[in-house]
Amino acid sequence: MKLRILLADDHEIVRRGLRALLEKHEGWEVCGEASDGREAVEKALQLNPDVVIVDIGMPNLNGLDTTRQLLQHDPHFKVIVLTITDSDQVIREALDAGARGFVLKSDAARDLVSAVEALQNKRMFFTPRVNDLVLAGFLEKGQTVSRNEAPKLPTLTAREREITQLLAEGNSSKEVASLLNLSTKTVETHRSNIMRKLSFHSIRDLVVYAIKNNLIQIELPPPPPKTPTGPGPTAA
Amino acid sequence: MTIRILLVDDHPIVRQGLKTLLEGHSGWEVIGEAADGAEAVEKAKDLSPDVMVLDVTMPRMNGLEACRLLRQECPGLEILFVTQHDSPQMMREALEAGARGYVVKSNAARDLLAAVDAVSQHRVFTALNGRNVAELR
């Protein structure tokens, strides 16, 4: 029987690349694709894949919360998180969320097949950096966050994190309500709770929080060339 | 006549996705790949492609620097940026660097074929996410 894989990434071109890579492997098939986390959860419940591959930086519902939701629905889901960074915080959150594989997007062509094979054989797959962190004891139960780090995400509930991401992506309360099938009043209540819990007074604070906590990701322009040949890029 | 294309992006998985899309078009051939701007310049000189599909943010040498160099080294080459940067400023900078086209990566599956078709005929093609798709000249 074939191993069935669900792919979730907001870039179709990346999904095409992943599909081409995975379908070269005999006995594997990509049974579905999703372009954001919410669609990934829906399709996973519908298709019941053996492995779900999720990008961390997806709109509407990011990959970490997608992983959390999937495992709440069914703890047997096997999730591989694809990420552009392997910072300590991202690694911790991916493991906390329950991911069984962690692959850097830049290394996906090399590592993803090994990661899927590992999960197929009931093992886990992590990058060498994750293994180093585990060995160094960073992930011991009860480990506290260092003083210089951003506030930890679990101060918000899963629903509050979802709403924080959607607000930080520029959606109004009304739009968030529509996306989540809630009343605008309920979203406004969540919004007030979020702002109170985090002691924020503006949506700008919320956006910064969302970026620091990997709820949303931003693309920075490349550094200006060493030899100036014109005006440098303008930071967003 | 076959259009010979060189793909430049630091993520192999993105190059694979672009390749499957481009090779589905008859008469187009991906003749090589590069993972950064410096390698792109070398391979362009070796392989003389008709069109280069070029990322902006890459290690060693970014796409804008490579584009400026290539304008001098390979004047017949048409350059099409495919980038994460959904930004009018970045698009303007890319065109000033000598590119003929600019497509946002999230829409590449939709815009890439039309863009390669346009730039291969020396026409400008630019498309920002959800704002405009403009084919000029």
Range 10-49 of B in CB contact (< 8 A) with A? 10-21
Kindly state whether residues A92 and A189 are assigned to the same domain: no
What are the chain A neighbours of B64 within 8 Å (beta carbons)? 222, 225, 233
**Are the C-beta atoms of residues A39 and A83 closer than 8 Å to each other?**
no
Every domain of chain B and the residues it spans: 3-136
Assigned superfamily of B3-136? Response regulator (3.40.50.2300)
SS3 B4: strand
Range 96-115 of B in CB contact (< 8 A) with A? 96-97, 105-106, 108-110, 112
Q: What is the pLDDT of residue B47?
A: 96
Q: What is the pLDDT of residue A140?
A: 57
What are the chain B neighbours of A108 within 8 Å (beta carbons)? 11-13
Could you list the beta-strand ranges (E) of chain B: 3-8, 28-34, 51-54, 78-83, 101-104, 124-128, 132-136
Any B CB within 8 A of A169 CB: no
**Looking at residue A197, which CATH number applies to its domain?**
1.10.10.10
Kindly state whether residues A165 and A128 are assigned to the same domain: no
Q: What is the pLDDT of residue A108?
A: 87
pLDDT digits (tens, 9 = 90+) for A148-161: 445 454 578 888 98
Range 25-84 of A in CB contact (< 8 A) with B? none
Weakly modelled stretches of chain A, pLDDT under 50: 142, 144-149, 151, 153, 227-236
Any B CB within 8 A of A234 CB: yes
Domain around A166: 153-212
Any B CB within 8 A of A23 CB: no
Kindly state whether residues A81 and A191 are assigned to the same domain: no
Q: Is residue A235 part of a domain?
A: no
Q: What is the pLDDT of residue A220?
A: 60
Which of A88, A106, A135 is the endpoint of a domain?
A135
Range 62-101 of B in CB contact (< 8 A) with A? 62-65, 68, 82, 84-85, 87, 89-90, 93, 96-97
Mutation site for B-interface testing, chosen from A7, A11, A13 by largest number of B Cβ within 10 Å? A13
Q: Do B13 and A105 touch (CB under 8 A)?
A: yes
What are the chain A neighbours of B70 within 8 Å (beta carbons)? none
Q: What is the pLDDT of residue A235?
A: 31
pLDDT digits (tens, 9 = 90+) for A172-215: 999 999 999 999 999 999 999 998 888 888 888 888 888 877 78
What pairs with residue B81 in β-bridges? Answer: B54, B102
Query: Could you tell me the maximum CA-CA distance found in chain B, to the nearest angstrom?
Result: 37
C-alpha B70 chain-centroid distance:
12
The interface predicted TM-score (ipTM) is: 0.84
Q: Is residue A164 part of a domain?
A: yes
Q: Do B16 and A17 touch (CB under 8 A)?
A: yes
Kindly state whether residues A167 and A121 are assigned to the same domain: no
Which of A135, A149, A119 minimizes the C-alpha distance to A52? A119
Going by C-beta distance under 8 Å and a sequence separation of 6 or more, which residues neighbour residue A115? A80, A101, A103, A125
Q: What is the pLDDT of residue A105?
A: 87
**% of chain B exceeding 70 in pLDDT:** 94
Q: Is residue A224 part of a domain?
A: no
Kindly state whether residues A57 and A158 are assigned to the same domain: no
Q: Is residue A142 part of a domain?
A: no
Kindly state whether residues A127 and A32 are assigned to the same domain: yes
Kindly state whether residues A105 and A57 are assigned to the same domain: yes
Angle at which helix B88-96 crosses helix B63-73, to 10 degrees, equals 20
User: Which structure tokens are listed for A98?
Assistant: 């329950």
CA distance A13 to B9: 12
**Are the C-beta atoms of residues B36 and B106 closer than 8 Å to each other?**
no
**Are the C-beta atoms of residues B49 and B29 closer than 8 Å to each other?**
no
The pTM is what?
Answer: 0.78
Q: What is the pLDDT of residue A25?
A: 93
Kindly state whether residues A67 and A114 are assigned to the same domain: yes
How many residue contacts between A and B have a Cβ separation below 8 Å?
90
CA distance A98 to A228: 47
Kindly state whether residues A52 and A126 are assigned to the same domain: yes
Q: Which of B15, B56, B96 sits opposite A222 (nearest CB)?
A: B56
Q: Is residue A141 part of a domain?
A: no
**Are the C-beta atoms of residues A21 and A113 closer than 8 Å to each other?**
yes
Q: How many domains does chain A have?
A: 2
Which one has a higher pLDDT value, A138 or B14? B14
Q: Is residue A218 part of a domain?
A: no
Kindly state whether residues A27 and A101 are assigned to the same domain: yes
Any B CB within 8 A of A16 CB: yes
pLDDT digits (tens, 9 = 90+) for B27-81: 999 999 999 999 999 999 999 999 999 999 998 899 999 999 999 999 999 999 9
